[in-house]
Chain A
């Protein structure tokens, strides 16, 4: 980053798919928007090195203050993206492959609609992590998101596949409308988890302040999560929703809390 933008910069072109097969000079010509003004990547970043011939063998390192950069790694399908700062919204949104590592925090909508690949956040994540776009019903469907810190509200809204692991705490409305996938929370939750959830698993190691009324106790089970075994209380829900049947059995969303 050589010239930080005054407004937010929409830089979905910072992705191995866009960089692949290009020289530094060609990469500098890639289009970006600052507000509603079109510009070039080279206006804001100093670009060194060349990309690999395909996205798979392209590795990008983004240095500097990226607090005002949106859409980093959007729709990337392969390769590596390392972000040394804390980007704004939509980091790794609609990713379908490759690995993205963020050293700092991410703002809202990181990994929304993700289909594959790995997104690792060493700091904290904002709201709507691995969720669906505004109004959409197609949330995270595949891949893995790992957060070392805490995450905000509405994590995994409309999630229907893949896995999210959060080492810290989460805020409210986790796994709302979930139709599949798995979320593991090592910390605590203030509650309102799994509202309108019809399928999928949520595993929480810490406390839940307020349980959703649509969840009911099923049984106690032993689970192996992240290599360690433990006893968990198993709740099913959201019982107020329409659920499908598999082999004659009604499928519910599962909520496991460490005993």
Chain B
């Protein structure tokens, strides 16, 4: 493989504590190495006056699978005027909030992202998820299967059978080539099959007679029993409703007393995703207000929790979630088209287009809440930037969010141009925050932090010798004061160079190599558990619409380049 040395760039690497000092980064055989280990023939990249970081890590986005594709199918208008023609190595692409797979890979790589996780894989359709990930070039990907409304999980946890739950989780992760335990509206999505929902953590799930609180605690315990690289990853109950922050705090409190048990350096036991959607006060849309402070204060004090923001980008987008009842609620609010799918014993999904208009007070408050969370987080290693793509906005808007976070001037200009800016300011904290994110903090929130939360801290998210050579160079000189905030957005939109596992994949914002994409999954070994294996066999015979042998994702067709992270829970 070609050796590289990236010379004289301003390096920001939280893993080694480098805060913008000029340094050289050397790449050999797909890994970062000491400068002395590359030969004289190494290709020199001049990064003088530029910013150098590790490749960014996307912890939560909906980028592959049946729900994403449903959005693509029923929103042809999302493709209108957004097609990108064939160019060099790049295949044609289309779509804005729900881009085609190829465009998804290219756009991430061009912004300097090298690893991304699909946030909600319906286990029954894992084959579809893997086929789409296979066709998303360059970036390494993994997917989180959903467990929070799964019949097996609810039946085992009702009887407090943690070991059986863990054995089932390990089986499902292997069958679907999944990465982590994802929970979406625990119990609520199953209740939706009865036309109900669980809006608090104590609402019982019909038939199963279990509460969301029991599901959440049980899955935390199963996760730590297995010692998985990532923690239980939760989209809690009561998403998106005024006053939902109380449910969020109740959910966070369930993690109290639990400590992470794993060999990957992960410290949290719960990852709270798209926190913006869960930090709402008020009783109705009229007195809707930000409760970001209440939520982030709790998170700041509790080290066993990580969060991501779910920033609203003020765009037209497509909401999609396994929270079926929420999407029905949303279509009742905006009266736009609605799609709903039930996934047998496992989950459900809904899709509704949404326009976050800066002229609507609620949307502007949502925009403020997302930024407040990132700006008020005391530990940037535990708060990560996402848009919950495409729910709060397309992932392609990350550079714009970075601009808002790094420039109080850009935020002020945005606030002043809101139609209801006075009302927005009085319902939020954003106008009183003058903090501007540093590049070091940005590297923590988009690289080292999510990598650590995912149990990948030894591999990605940093530039320490021995780590994967995922490196990005931005046309941004930290020595020169920013006069126009647009410079920030421009610089982070298109990387000068992106390296993925030591391969130069992007040069001057253009894709030059399709890299060597991998699928990350977790292979957890547990003691033989004949009871769980019998239950699985029985459920497939009695209830599932397909056979067990057609269920698994395996082989070259689905996972052509797997990277299994092994966990031993047999002891």
Contact = CB atoms under 8 A, between A and B. Distances in A.
Interface stretch (A130-138, A180-188, A203-211): A130-138
Interface in B70-124: 74-78, 80, 85-86
Interface string B315-345: 0000000000000000000011100000000
A153 to B, nearest CB: 19
A38 B77 CA distance: 23
A136 B77 contact: yes
Label chain A's interface by main secondary structure.
loop
Contacts of B76: 133-136
B190 to A, nearest CB: 29
Nearest to A33: B85
B80 A133 contact: yes
B77 A134 contact: yes
A242 interface: yes
Contacts of B337: 135, 137
B335 A135 contact: no
B335 A242 contact: yes
B373 to A, nearest CB: 32
A135 B74 contact: yes
Contacts of A136: 76-77, 80
Label chain B's interface by main secondary structure.
loop
Interface in A121-168: 133-137
Contact of A135 (B75, B85, B86): B75
Contacts of A36: 85-86
A52 to B, nearest CB: 26
Contacts of A134: 76-77
Contacts of A135: 74-78, 337
B157 to A, nearest CB: 40
B57 to A, nearest CB: 33
Nearest to A12: B81
A137 B74 contact: no
A136 B353 CA distance: 10
Interface residues of A, number: 8
Contact of A133 (B77, B85, B86, B336): B77
Contacts of A242: 335
A42 to B, nearest CB: 20
A257 B77 CA distance: 34
Interface in A31-72: 36, 38
A36 B74 CA distance: 24
Interface in B475-519: none
Q: Which has the most chain A C-beta neighbours within 10 Å: B80, B336, B337?
A: B80
A137 B85 CA distance: 26
A76 B264 CA distance: 59
A38 B80 CA distance: 18
Contacts of A133: 76-77, 80
A135 B336 CA distance: 11
A32 to B, nearest CB: 13
A38 B86 CA distance: 11
A137 B76 CA distance: 11
Nearest to A242: B335
A36 B92 CA distance: 10
Nearest to B73: A135
Contacts of A137: 336-337
A222 B76 CA distance: 42
A136 B85 CA distance: 23
Contacts of B78: 135
A38 B85 CA distance: 10
A38 B78 CA distance: 23
A137 B331 CA distance: 14
Contacts of A38: 85
Nearest to B75: A135
A229 to B, nearest CB: 37
B85 to A, nearest CB: 8
A134 to B, nearest CB: 4
Contacts of B336: 137
Interface string B340-380: 00000000000000000000000000000000000000000
B514 to A, nearest CB: 21
Nearest to B86: A36
Nearest to A75: B81
A29 B145 CA distance: 52
A135 B80 CA distance: 10
20 contacts: A36-B85, A36-B86, A38-B85, A133-B76, A133-B77, A133-B80, A134-B76, A134-B77, A135-B74, A135-B75, A135-B76, A135-B77, A135-B78, A135-B337, A136-B76, A136-B77, A136-B80, A137-B336, A137-B337, A242-B335
Given A36-B86, A133-B77, A135-B74, 9 more contacts: A133-B80, A135-B75, A135-B76, A135-B77, A135-B78, A136-B77, A136-B80, A137-B336, A242-B335
Interface of B: 74-78, 80, 85-86, 335-337
- The 8 lowest CB-CB distance pairs between A and B, nearest first, are A136-B77, A135-B76, A134-B76, A135-B77, A133-B77, A135-B75, A133-B80, A137-B336
